[in-house]
Amino acid sequence: MQTDLLKALIAQTACPFILEGAPCIQCTICGFFGIYVGSWQNYGFVFVSSYPLMDAFSMTYFIRDYRRAVIDKWKQTFSSASVESIDEFTPPKALYLAS
């Protein structure tokens, strides 16, 4: 368990630098030296906005007990779903158009 926590800590330390620091440093350096990157710089900030999601995924991936619990819950959720439950669904009356 301690090695799992160490790996998760390393991932949580590297994740902000890679996903937030690198695009911001690139933007600053390119602006400082007058390098025109055009619209390509916009794609770098997709990484900045994906940081919270990837941080949570890194914890779930590196800690074995969390990963097993998530996979078991996922299997329970999708094994209990059936096509019959979808066929029986009727939308609420508020969604019908009044004529």
pLDDT of residue 4: 84
pLDDT of residue 97: 58
pLDDT of residue 70: 87
**28 backbone dihedrals φ, ψ, rounded to 5°:** -65, -45
Q: Tell which wins on pLDDT, 2 or 99.
A: 2
Residue-wise pLDDT tens digits, 38-80: 887 777 778 788 888 888 888 888 888 888 888 898 888 877 6
Residue 22 sits at the vertex; the CA angle it makes with 20 and 49, to the nearest 5 degrees, is 30
- pLDDT category, 81, cuts 50, 70, 90? low
pTM: 0.55
**88 backbone dihedrals φ, ψ, rounded to 5°:** -80, -5
63: left (phi over 0), alpha (psi -120 to 50) or beta: beta
pLDDT of residue 56: 85
Q: How far apart are CA 33 and CA 21, in angstroms?
A: 18
pLDDT of residue 42: 77
Which CA distances in Å does 8 have to 5, 45, 59, 60? Answer: 5, 24, 6, 9
Q: In the numeric block, which tokens belong to residue 30? A: 């390119």
Residue 87 predicted with pLDDT over 70: no
**56 backbone dihedrals φ, ψ, rounded to 5°:** -65, -40
